[in-house]
Amino acid sequence: MTAYVHINLRVIDPARQASLAPRFQAALERAGGRIVHFGPVEDHLEGDVAPLPLAGVFAFRTLDDARAFYQSADYAPIKAERQEAQDARMFIVNCP
């Protein structure tokens, strides 16, 4: 099964966000993940809460791989800095 990490975000510190991108991508790749999409939300289809303006989708081989990346020592400092650079919602979905 492939697992996907989805993030919906608004950048609140553009300089910090710019410095995070290459470090995030390198940590993601070391964990066996890949970027499926990162860019603007194109359309709000349903729901009362509008999405934040950007979305990212990151694929992992398994749910365990996705969880391991999020909880890894490699990602921890990036996550702490990302939380200062972004207002975000993040979750994992598992697809058969």
Angle between helices 14-30 and 76-85 (to 10 degrees): 150
Rg of the chain (C-alpha set): 13
Residue 93 CA to residue 79 CA, distance in Å, equals 19
Residue 58 CA to residue 91 CA, distance in Å, equals 11
Residue 60: CATH number of its domain: 3.30.70.100
Q: What is the pLDDT of residues 37-59, one digit of tens each?
A: 999 999 999 999 889 999 999 99
Q: What's the total number of domains in the chain? A: 1
Q: What is the pLDDT of residues 72-94, one digit of tens each?
A: 999 999 999 999 999 999 999 99
| pLDDT, position 44 | 92
Q: Which structural domain range is residue 33 located in?
A: 2-95
Mean pLDDT of 14-20: 94
